[in-house]
Amino acid sequence: MTTLQVSQDTIELQNKIISLKLSLAKVIEEREYIIWTIKPAIEADFQIKIGVFQLELLQLEVESRRLKSMIHRIQADINRNKKPNIEFIEKELQKEFQKWYKQIEVEAEKIKYAKERFNSQMTQAESSEFKKLFRELVKKLHPDINPNLGEKEKDLWLQVIQTYNRGDLDEMRALSVILEDTHQVEISNINELKKQLESFKSHLKKVQEEISTIKSDHPFDLEENLSDEKWVEGKQTEIINGIEQWKQMILTYVDIIENLLGFKVDTMLD
């Protein structure tokens, strides 16, 4: 094989590697966008449309169960000819239901995050710029595309990931300014280039498979339903019916407690 032929083969391999790097950067950006933007958006949409009702249902269910336990404790004291110590009973119930209260806090935090996310959404132009900047930084700094990164570049990549997760457009712009375009392929011998080519093909396939797996998993199974107004309305109605049932149960338990104690008690319905 002549020197000219070797050089031509080398150039063709380099061009293929550059093309694969660009494709890999695109699918990596797509994967991150799905994980850190689309997925949270679906989860937030669910919380706004369904989660707020589920939280109220959970709160009422816990309150109802708490009052039922209170009735048993009060009745037990009365059966022993002992005056019920409501303050002590309340403290015991607080301990007993701590796990439930923690769950309520978790669900409430999800709804808070969802509302904050909707209030701080980027414009379409800002979102497009954000994705473009991230894709360029992926080409320069992602370890799968740049296996020989120095410590400084590795630190910058961590900053890029953190910035992407926060959705901070201004910081993403700043990180983009720091770096020069370094996605060109360095001159290597032909065997090394072939190894690089196969490596990038393998990474590209792996990321594409990851994207397919992510899209087939929760919460993407809810995406179509959440865009269906009839499904959303039906789900809301179902939960609201449950809410009304727990409210009635609470009123029944409150009436029993007040008859046992001879005075009014406060509940979350007051």
Name the residue with higher pLDDT: 6 or 164: 164
Residue 217 is classified by DSSP as: S
If you average pLDDT over residues 218-246, what whole number do you get?
96
For 216, list phi and psi in degrees, rounded to 5. Answer: -90, -5
Per-residue pLDDT at 260: 93
Q: How many CB atoms lie within 10 A of CB 183?
A: 15
269 domain-assigned: no
pLDDT band for 221, please (50, 70, 90 cuts).
very high
For 77, list phi and psi in degrees, rounded to 5. Answer: -65, -45
Could you tell me which residues come within 8 angstroms of residue 120 by beta carbon, excluding any fewer than 6 positions away? Answer: 167
- Across the chain, what does the average pLDDT equal? 88
What is the distance between the alpha carbons of residues 133 and 180, in angstroms, rounded to a whole number?
Answer: 13
Query: In percent, how much of the chain has pLDDT > 70?
Result: 94
Could you tell me which residues come within 8 angstroms of residue 224 by beta carbon, excluding any fewer than 6 positions away? Answer: none
What is the distance between the alpha carbons of residues 121 and 130, in angstroms, rounded to a whole number?
Answer: 12
193 domain-assigned: yes
33 domain-assigned: yes
Number of domains into which the chain is organized: 1
Among 176-185, 232-241, 251-260, where is mean pLDDT lowest?
176-185
How many distinct helices (H) and strands (E) make up the chain? 11, 0
How far does the chain reach from its first CA to its final CA, in angstroms?
A: 90
1 domain-assigned: no
If you average pLDDT over residues 152-173, what whole number do you get?
86
Q: Per-residue b/e over 216-227, b at no fewer than 16 CB within 10 Å?
A: eeebeebeeebe
Per-residue pLDDT at 81: 93
Per-residue pLDDT at 185: 46
Question: Which domain covers residue 74, as residue numbers?
Answer: 26-261
> pLDDT digit string (tens) for 42-86?
999 999 999 999 999 999 999 999 999 999 999 999 999 999 999
Per-residue pLDDT at 232: 97
- The pTM score is 0.78
47 domain-assigned: yes
Tell me the residue type at 109: E
Q: What is the largest CA-CA distance in the chain?
A: 107
Per-residue pLDDT at 112: 93
53 domain-assigned: yes
What is the distance between the alpha carbons of residues 254 and 70, in angstroms, rounded to a whole number?
Answer: 10
Per-residue pLDDT at 123: 83
Q: Which residue has the tokens 């590209």?
A: 204
67 domain-assigned: yes
Q: Examine the pLDDT at 120 and tell me if it is beyond 80.
A: no
